[in-house]
Each structure stands twice: as structure tokens, then as C-alpha cells.
Amino acid sequence: MVPSVITGDVTLGDDTARLVAVVPDPRSPYPRARKGEVGLREGLALAETVTQAVTEDARLPDDRRRPIIAVVDLPSQAYGRVEELLGIHHALAAAVDAYASARMAGHPVIALIVGTALSGGLLAHGLQANQILALHDPGVVVHAMHREAAAKVTLRTVDELDELARRIPPLSYDVADWAKLGLCDELLDVENADDPTEGDTRTAKDVLAAAVERARRGPRDLSNRLASPGARRTRIASRRVREALAAQWR
């Protein structure tokens, strides 16, 4: 294991769940991955710990296989020339494959977003979950890229981008707007996201346990994201494109 990927098995309701998080490592040999980014080592370490749980539980009945909880607070993937040369796409793909394989093997995979969840970092650590939960807090941000970068590539100012976001939910950096897109299964209201109270901790555990049960009852693929009420309202074009592709494939 590497210092920036921490894991632990904890009691969650009637289950023993594996928690996985990516954290800052100021001493990382890769400077671009010192602030909590998912880099080369992190992608492979995520794949290792998730695959280990799948291997250890392979002989258990489906309903006893450990839930895997991805605790998400990361600024992005690690951007850097070294990372690109050494194949960060392979490292992050290994993490994605491990999470997807665990989900398809019957492990409930739950993502709990407690801070920043941006770009390839979220793709590698969290987006393959059966259920995605997020704290309902101004400090929680879920998006494809940082606000300043989005403004630059769209040739707008940050203020202009924020004005557009009031009318176009996918452009918004408000977690409540993101939750309307059909990707979020539940927003958690807490008293203090930075310094959780005992009540906040109990709420998180209860919501996680309920999400595990929903994951066990639901499909192992991610079809629920396009079938959710939010997706039916805000992802009409995505649904039509997928229906057209499916018809052509058949």
C-alpha cells in the first residue's frame, strides 16, 4: 500500500464494510499527486485493495460480500508530463475496472462524496458505485473540471460561467444542482461537514447502511442512473441517444 490510499474494515449495520479513501501525501515521489490527487500509485493501490476484497469474499454468498465504500474528497487526477509518460490512464483504468468488477461480483459499491470530486479523480474513485451519496454542504463540489479551467476553455469569465450555471444545471458547481442530474442517490444534511458531530456520524452510517441495502436489491449495472426521476427530467437527450444506439446494436 501507499500512504495516500487508506483503507479499513468497519461495522456498518449488519455488515463489515471496506472503506477506501485517497488522502494527501506531501512526501509522494510524484509532486503532482501530493495534495490528494489520484495519480499513478493511487490508481494501482485502489485497484489492489478493491481486488483484494473481491478475492477474499469470492466463496461467500452474494448477500455476505463486503460493501465497499469509496470516501471521496480529491481535487482531480494527477496532471503531469511524468504521469502521462508512465501511463496514468492505465493506472486509473485499473481502479475503474476493480470497482466495476466488485460491483458485478455482488459487492455493494457506495461512493460518499464529502469534499471535492473533480474530473478523472472521481472517474477512478467513486463513479463506478451502485449508489452515490454526497454531503449537502457548500464545500462539496462535483464537476468535470475546476471553475477557472472551465471558464478558460469556454472563453468566458468565471462570473459569466456562474451566470450560465443558474440556468443550465450541468454547468453549476452547486452540489444540489448536480444532484438533479440523476447521478446522486441521496444528499445528506449534516451540522458540520468539516468537524462532524456524533449525530452527523450516526446519520452517515444510517444512510450508508440504507444505500447498501438498495444496492443489493437493485441492478448490478448502472442502468438506475438513467432511470432515476432526476435523469428522466434532465438527461432526456442522453436517454434518447442510448436508446438509438441500443436499437442499432440490436
Q: What is the largest CA-CA distance in the chain?
A: 55
Domain limits of the chain? 5-249
CA distance 124 to 89: 10
Q: What is the pLDDT of residue 63?
A: 87
DSSP 93-148: HHHHHHHHHHHHTT--EEEEEEEEEEHHHHHHTTTT-SEEEEE-STT-EEESS-HH
CA distance 152 to 22: 28
Q: What is the pLDDT of residue 172?
A: 86
Residue 5 grid coordinates: 490510499
Q: What is the pLDDT of residue 6?
A: 97
CA distance 8 to 211: 19
Fold of the 5-249 domain: 2-enoyl-CoA Hydratase; Chain A, domain 1 (3.90.226)
Sequence-distant contacts of 185-191: CB under 8 A, at least 24 apart = 185/131, 185/132, 185/133, 185/211, 185/214, 185/228, 186/131, 186/133, 186/134, 186/211, 187/133, 187/134, 187/135, 187/136, 188/133, 188/134, 188/135, 188/136, 189/136, 190/135, 190/136, 190/137
pLDDT tens sequence for the chain (250 residues): 799 999 999 999 889 999 999 999 999 999 999 999 999 999 999 999 999 999 999 999 988 999 999 999 999 999 999 999 999 999 999 999 999 999 999 999 999 999 999 999 999 999 999 999 999 999 999 988 888 888 898 899 999 988 988 888 888 888 998 888 888 999 999 999 999 999 999 999 999 999 999 999 999 999 888 888 878 888 888 889 999 999 999 8
Q: What is the pLDDT of residue 22?
A: 98
Residue 203 CA to its chain's centroid (Å): 19
Q: What is the pLDDT of residue 30?
A: 96
Three-state DSSP at 159 gives: helix
Query: Which residue is it, cell 455488515?
Result: 15
This prediction has a pTM of 0.92
CA distance 138 to 193: 9
Residue 70 grid coordinates: 469509496
Could you tell me the CA-to-CA distances from 58 to 65, 176, 217 in Å, in that order?
8, 38, 19
Residue 66 is given by DSSP the state P
Given a contact cutoff of 8 angstroms between Cβ atoms, the answer to whether 59 and 11 are in contact is: no
Interior/surface letters 132-166, b for 16+ CB within 10 angstroms, e for the rest: bbbbebeebbbbeebbeebbeeeeeeeeebbeebe
Q: Which of 88, 101, 80, 85 is nearest to 41 (CA)?
A: 88
